[in-house]
Structure 1
Amino acid sequence: MSSPAADVVRLLTVRGETLAVAESLTGGLVAAEITGVPGASKAFRGSVTAYATELKAQLLGVDAALLERRGAVDPQVAAQMAAGVRKALGADWGIATTGVAGPDEQDEQPVGTVFVAVEGPCGPDFGTVGGGKVSLLRLNGDRAEIRMESVRSVLALLLQQLASEQTENERAQDTEQNGGF
C-alpha cells in the first residue's frame, strides 16, 4: 500500500515535474513526509519553514500588508505562500500549510483552523491563484493530530490537483486526435 507522499513523488517523477513546500504550523513535517519516500530527489526541490509571520513576507513574498491586516491564518496567505515557494525554489508545483495547531488561538482563529494551498503550472504566472486551490480545514484533536492531519490534507489536495490536470490534458489530447470534436 502506498502513501500519499509516495503517490505524489511517483506522479511528479513520471510527469517530469517538481515540487516545493512552504510550511508554517507543520514545521517541516510535509517535507519530512516527502523526503521519506525513496527517489524523492527526482521531484522534490526543497522547502521553506516560515514559522514566524514576518518570514512569510521576507522569504515567500507574502504581501506584508495582508499579513498585517488579516494575520498568517488566512486563505490568501496560504495561496501566496504556495505561489511564493514555487517561484523561490523554481518548482512546477508549490504547496503550503498555515494555521493554528494550539494550544491557543492565533489571529482570532480557533485552534484547528488550517489553510492548505496548492499552486501549479496551470496558472498564467507564478503570482496568481488561477493555477491553484486553497482549502479550509476545521480540525479536531491535539496539536500533534492537527499537524499530521494538515500534512495528509495538503498532500491529498496536491494529488487532487494533479489528477484534475491529468484529466484535462487527456480530454484536450482526445479532442485534438478527433479533429477538434
Structure 2
Amino acid sequence: MKTSQTPQIYVGTYAKYNGSGHRNGSIAGEWVDLEIYDTKDSFFEYCKELHCDEDDAEFMFQDYENIPEKLISECSVSDKLFDYIEAIKDMEDETIEALGLFIEDKDINKDTDFEELMQEFSDEYQGYYDGSEGTEVEFAYKYIEEQGILNEMPEHLQYYFDYKAYANDLFINDFVEHDGHVFRR
C-alpha cells in the first residue's frame, strides 16, 4: 500500500561523497522505497547492486523520509526498521505519524520486542484531535461522552460543565499530546 507516509532512504556511499574513485564529491545514489523489501538483508542486497561500481561499498544514508529518527542514522539502519515497515503497511497516514512519535519516545535497541511495542502503542494511543477548541479540549469532549461522566449530573447542571478545566486536569496526569495525537501516560 503506497501512502504519503511511505518510508524511503536516499542511499549513496561514503567513497562517492568523499571524492575517492572516479566520482569526486558525488552524491550519486537513489531514493529507495523500503516497502518493497521484507528484510534488512534484502534491502542491503539492493544497495550492493545499486553501488556495484564499488568493491566494498560503505553505504551512506544521506536523507530519509517517513522513518522515525531512532531507526536510522547516516551510517546505519536499525534491525527494527523492517518490523516498523511491516507494522505500518495497513495503517492510515495519521496512525503512522502517531506511531513515529510514539517510537521517538521509546528506547529502541536490538532486544526490543516489536510486537510488545506495538501492543503498548495500541494501548496508549487515543487518536488524533484537531478541533477548533484545541486538541486537549476536543479529546475531553470525547472522553467525557465515552466515560458517561455527565450522566450522573442533573441535566440542567450539565450546561455549566467546564470542559477546558477538565481537559487541563486530564493532561496533567493521565494523557499527553504530541502534534494533535493523544497518548495515555
TM-score of the superposed pair, with normalisation by structure 2: 0.26
**Could you state the TM-score of these two structures normalised by the residue count of structure 1?**
0.27
| Higher Cα Rg, which structure | 2
Q: Which has the higher contact order (CA 8 A, sep 6+)?
A: 1
